Amino acid sequence: MYKKSAQLFTEAKKYMPGGVNSPVRAFKSVNMEPLFIKRALGSKIYDADGSEYIDYVASWGPLILGHAHPEVVKAVTEAAKNGTSYGASTEIEIELAKLITEIYPSIDKVRMVNSGTEAAMSAVRIARGFTGRDKIIKFDGCYHGHSDSFLIKAGSGALTLGIPGNPGVTKGTASDTLIAGYNTLESVQEIIEANPGQIAAIIVEPVAGNAGVIPPAEDFLEGLRKLAADNGIILIFDEVITGFRVALGGAQELYGVKPDMTCLGKIIGGGLPVGAYGGRADIMDMVAPDGPVYQAGTLAGNPLAMAAGLAAVNILKEENPYPQLDKMASLLADGIRECSVKHGIPIQQNRVGSMMCRFFTDKPVTGLDSAMTSDTELFAEYFKAMLSEGIYMAPSQFEAGFVSTAHTAEDIEKTIEAHDNALKKIG
């Protein structure tokens, strides 16, 4: 079934570490060799062997409009005709930046970068420069990219692969990153009290999307907002996943909490590499060339990524697909839940808008500790069973899945039926 993919993987391992360019793609946590993808369209993805799958990975979140959306493809094609990169300023950068600041009231100014990792890394550097402080607070299980400061109790691929520590990260860097419990305000308060006047920033995924999907507890984000304000700390929302995904204005719109800085990515590139960070004008004025904190990127604001992102965001703004996305995701989540009860297999189904995760545990998942009670071996068997049913999902218990505007009612019905069949196989 996966003959061509297996051949490609054997070849890839000769030239790339693990045969991949991002660790989770290796499928190690589900005990199989990875698929190699040939093409995709709408809600479907096709592997090198020609097999078709309903896709819930969506390139790990960016493709809220589905694969190869015609307006996005047209925008990229037209931009490419004029050249792929200039290393100079373009008008389209202004258009996308203006649109972001209009949609996100917390962002007065924004700087484009090339990835979510760059966005988070830069935001923390700016916060340190603005406050004159060194330490930051992050949360266990939250992933903000692979910058040294964030690879302490990180989620996403590090969690998936069971990487226990932070090899390559110096003790000095690690000592400046303080770990709090997600959804546990008391732990944040204790850290602040133990480090008076030393915390530059609190960085958080407002909806944790890299340890599965874990919504914020009631008053958690509001509590962070108050603690930050009371102690002169910059509150950074990492909305690389949630931005334009859970609502047009991201989680900060959904929950009504205004951060000092925001990290964006994924959807604002329409499927091309992109990231951005922005915030209050007085903070962003610290960024070179206006201020002393240096950050640069040769391909930042790349015209192809800007064109794709501008097309995607304009569609979201004009068409407001969020009620329909929520409806489709709700139907899928409800169907999965009902099948799981029928088969007597304990599954916790967490969902915020069109992002969701099913955890193979009988405990409600509210943080990293409860997420880690999941039966990862059972998930691996489930993943294989779903793949054989034509459903492509993240090859990790600890990653989010996504519904796009391209998913149809028929796709949802087929997925629920596949889920039912998969549980029969593994039950």
Asked whether the predicted pLDDT for residue 116 surpasses 70, the reply is yes
Asked whether the predicted pLDDT for residue 183 surpasses 90, the reply is yes
Assigned token pair, 263: 């990290």
70-319: which CATH topology?
Answer: Aspartate Aminotransferase; domain 2 (3.40.640)
pLDDT, position 166 = 65
Asked whether the predicted pLDDT for residue 420 surpasses 70, the reply is yes
pLDDT, position 172 = 73
Closest by CA position to 19, among listed 2, 3, 30, 6: 6
Average pLDDT for 191-197? 97
pLDDT, position 170 = 75
Burial of 330 (0-12, 13-18, 19+ CB in 10 A): middle
Query: Radius of gyration (Cα) for the chain, nearest Å?
Result: 21
pLDDT, position 173 = 77
pLDDT, position 169 = 76
Asked whether the predicted pLDDT for residue 38 surpasses 60, the reply is yes
pLDDT, position 165 = 57
pLDDT, position 175 = 83
pLDDT digits (tens, 9 = 90+) for 374-405: 999 999 999 999 999 999 999 999 999 999 99
Asked whether the predicted pLDDT for residue 363 surpasses 80, the reply is yes
In CATH, what number does 3-64+321-426 get? 3.90.1150.10
pLDDT, position 152 = 67
Asked whether the predicted pLDDT for residue 36 surpasses 80, the reply is yes
Average pLDDT for 85-106? 97
Average pLDDT for 221-239? 98
pLDDT, position 78 = 98
Q: Cα separation of 57 and 182, whole Å?
A: 24
Positions of CATH 3.90.1150.10 in the chain: 3-64+321-426
What proportion of the chain, given as a percentage, has pLDDT over 70?
96
- Look over the chain and give the mean of its residue pLDDT values, rounded to a whole number: 94
Residues with active-site annotation: 143, 238, 266
Closest by CA position to 409, among listed 321, 320, 329, 319: 329
pLDDT digits (tens, 9 = 90+) for 119-137: 999 999 999 999 999 999 9
* Three-state SS letters, the chain: CCHHHHHHHHHHCCCCHHHCCCHHHHCHHHCCCCCCEEEEEECEEEECCCCEEEECCHHHCCCCCCECCHHHHHHHHHHHHCCCCCCCCCHHHHHHHHHHHHHCCCCCEEEEECCHHHHHHHHHHHHHHHHCCCEEEEECCCCCCCCHHHCCCCCHHHHHCCCCCCCCCCHHHHHCEEEECCCCHHHHHHHHHHCCCCEEEEEECCCECCCCCECCCCCHHHHHHHHHHHCCCEEEEECCCCECCCECCHHHHHHCCCCCEEEEEHHHHCCCCCEEEEECHHHHCCECCCCCECCCCCCCCCHHHHHHHHHHHHHHHHHCCHHHHHHHHHHHHHHHHHHHHHHCCCCEEEEECCEEEEECCCCCCCCHHHHCCCCHHHHHHHHHHHHHCCEECCCCCCCCEECCCCCCHHHHHHHHHHHHHHHHHHC
Asked whether the predicted pLDDT for residue 406 surpasses 80, the reply is yes
Sign of the Cα torsion 52, 422, 19, 266 reads positive
pTM, two decimals, is 0.94
Give me the helix-helix angle, 70-81 and 303-319, nearest 10°. 150
pLDDT, position 160 = 46
pLDDT band at 164 (very low <50, low <70, confident <90, very high): very low
Positions of CATH 3.40.640.10 in the chain: 70-319
Average pLDDT for 132-147? 91
Average pLDDT for 75-100? 97
pLDDT band at 171 (very low <50, low <70, confident <90, very high): confident
